[in-house]
Amino acid sequence: MGGELIWILAAALLIGGAMRAFSAVLRRRAVGLVDATIADVIPETGGREARRESWLRRWLSLAGYRQPGAVRSFLGAQTAALLLGGLFGWALAQSGLVEWMMRSASVFPGGVGELFVAVASLAPWIVFAIIVAIPVLAVRSRRRERVVAVEEDLPLALDLFATLAEAGLGFDAALNRILESQSQERPLSQEFSTYQREMLAGVPRAQALRQLARRIDVTAVTVFVSALVQAEQIGSSLAETLRHQADDMRDRRRMRALLLAQSLPVKLVFPLIVCFLPGIFVATLGPAIHQMIKIADGILRNYR
């Protein structure tokens, strides 16, 4: 039975990983469709350079690690985590703690004990997997922080872009004003500063915008860049395009807030069950149980 439980846990982990990979592929395909729109209106030769770029360097770059030795540092950290995970897993297996946990878990009645025994037998491998995954999880966390920061700053930047463009300023002049009013420590401001340096170096505007979208790789920024490039190619009003983008971003932010608010009751179910229901049971049933214990104790004393 323990072996069957181990196989069930392994299959569940495999299915969960496959589902997460499939959802990631779908998200990247959706972003790729918008990026393809930009590629259609931008005759750029940077595609060959992007294909030659290492996927690992690209992944680290999206997380903000763009130093020349970022790839070597990550591979070194991953190797150290692999060795450290193997050492901790071996030490845990040799310490006898696993056998003690298996003996302690086997006393649980029913099939619960067998489940805990199976989990305890996998404890060295679980520790090994957790330690090995620490560098990857750190990079993923840094990437999520950058995405959240960009999505927080982009609506305000779009509103400022639209207002300044309607006041008669060009895109570059409006960008200078926005960078002066925002902190340079934010990822979006840093990417806009990089875009300005590329423009000063002589890179065409369309190519610099495309590189800006590739460096950030956030759907909202990609849509924004696509609209700017199309407006520049067909000669439409920049102020009108920016105002439409700002309104669309505001609507999407409102819808995201509504979705989060609607999902709040579902997220509160588990804390309510774990934290509040036991206290409610004790407060409501405690006096009755106390009276029953007193009655039972009195009956037993009379019987004796």
Q: How far is residue 171's CA from residue 162's CA, in Å, rounded to a whole number?
A: 10
| Residues 149 and 255 occupy one common structural domain | yes
* Residue 274 or residue 82, greater confidence: 82
pLDDT digits (tens, 9 = 90+) for 43-68: 443 444 444 458 888 888 888 888 88
Residues 150 and 109 in one domain: no
- pLDDT per residue as tens digits for the range 101-137: 777 777 766 566 677 777 778 888 888 899 999 999 9
Q: Are residues 96 and 162 in the same domain?
A: no
- Claim to verify: residue 177 and residue 75 sit in the same structural domain: no
The answer to the question of residue 224 being in a domain is: yes
Residue 126 sits in the same domain as residue 228: no
* Residues whose CB falls within 8 Å of the CB of residue 9, separated by 6 or more in sequence, listed in order: 118, 119, 122
The answer to whether residues 183 and 234 belong to one domain is yes
Quick check: 250 pLDDT over 90? Answer: no
Who contacts 271 (Cβ-Cβ below 8 Å, separation ≥6)? none
Count of domains forming the chain: 2
Alpha helices (H) in the chain, listed in sequence order? 2-41, 46-52, 55-62, 70-94, 97-105, 112-121, 123-132, 134-166, 171-181, 187-200, 205-216, 219-234, 238-267, 269-271, 277-303
Q: Which residue range is the domain that position 67 belongs to? A: 55-132
* pTM of the predicted model as reported, rounded to 2 decimal places: 0.67
Give the domain CATH number at 235.
1.20.81
Residues 94 and 145 grouped into a single domain: no
Q: Is the pLDDT of residue 212 over 70?
A: yes
Is the separation of the CB atoms in 46 and 213 below 8 Å?
no
Q: Which helix (H) or strand (E) holds 82?
A: helix 70-94
Q: How far is CA 271 from CA 55, 257, 259, in A?
A: 40, 22, 20
Instruction: Write the DSSP symbol of residue 111.
Output: T
**Does residue 106 sit in the same domain as residue 149?**
no
Q: How many CB atoms lie within 10 A of CB 220?
A: 20
Percentage of the chain lying above the pLDDT 90 cut: 12
Residue 48 is predicted with a pLDDT of: 46
